Amino acid sequence: MKPKSLLKPTLLIIGLLNATLSFGHTSYPKEVKCPIDGNKFTIYVTASYTTFSTLKDFQKQGAIGDLYESYINSCPKCHYCGYQSDFDSTFSDSTKQDILKILEPFKNSKMTDVLENEIAIIIHQYFKRDNDNIANLYLVASYFLKGDSLQKSKRKELQLNCAIYLTKAIEAKEYDKPETYATINYLIGELYRRIGEFDTAIKYYDFAINDRKKKEWILEVATKQKELAIKKDEDNSI
Ligand SMILES: [Zn+2]
């Protein structure tokens, strides 16, 4: 009988530990097949994560593990890059040839998370995917360089491209919900502020602030960030 009662506190601790662990980032391995060369390899798909807060450029903070890194995967052999769904695709021979031509300059490149996103962007452009989709890949790529002072100009280039594609997405009316436009204009403003183009930033913050269909929280955050732009503050850490 004694050993049984001794087990109880241990089980309780294990139970608590499991509860803590499940309140975080989890992922699972999945085998995928490259649609270009048939190469099979394992990717890690995010199953769950916990967000504690969000930065002003919508980057999630918390127990997110490699959430952003795991969005885009690359074939280790041909460097074809894309979301998991891009690996589930099948292409015609002519499409495969076109993509191989796109991949040619990256044949000997050392793959990084930023480069994976950039290659995925070129492939997205080839397939004429939505501007918003392309903007999102630039945005996530800019997150990878958030604190990297050595790659500041590269980070700004990614943020500028994100802003350009978000502008195109607005022009093409890619958003279903009318309240989304103010949110996107706010984000464009925030990206221009981070780049140091303060007048453009203020213009877009104002679009968001003056949009009658905006979500309630936009007014406060856009007003606060606009004040930073007026002070010519390009802080990218917030
Ligand atoms: Zn491949």
The predicted structure's pLDDT at residue 25: 87
CA of 133 to the centre of ligand 1 (A): 22
DSSP secondary structure, 171-207, as one string: HTT--SSTTHHHHHHHHHHHHHHHHT-HHHHHHHHHH
CA of 128 to the centre of ligand 1 (A): 21
CA of 85 to the centre of ligand 1 (A): 14
CA of 75 to the centre of ligand 1 (A): 5
Structure tokens at 146: 């958030």
Is the pLDDT at 13 greater than 70? The verdict is no
Half-sphere exposure of 56 (CA within 13 A, CB side): 23
Read off the amino acid at residue 203: K
Residue 173, CA distances (Å) to 125, 130, 215, 232 in order: 18, 10, 18, 31
The predicted structure's pLDDT at residue 3: 41
CA of 38 to the centre of ligand 1 (A): 6
Does residue 33 contact residue 39 with C-beta atoms inside 8 Å?
yes
CA of 119 to the centre of ligand 1 (A): 13
Q: How confident is the model at residue 104 (pLDDT cuts 50, 70, 90)?
A: very high
Q: How confident is the model at residue 23 (pLDDT cuts 50, 70, 90)?
A: low
Half-sphere exposure of 16 (CA within 13 A, CB side): 6
Number of C-beta neighbours around residue 72 at 10 A: 23
What is the per-residue pLDDT across 164-180, written as a single tens digit (0 to 9) for each?
Answer: 999 999 999 999 999 99
pTM listed for this prediction: 0.89
CA of 117 to the centre of ligand 1 (A): 16
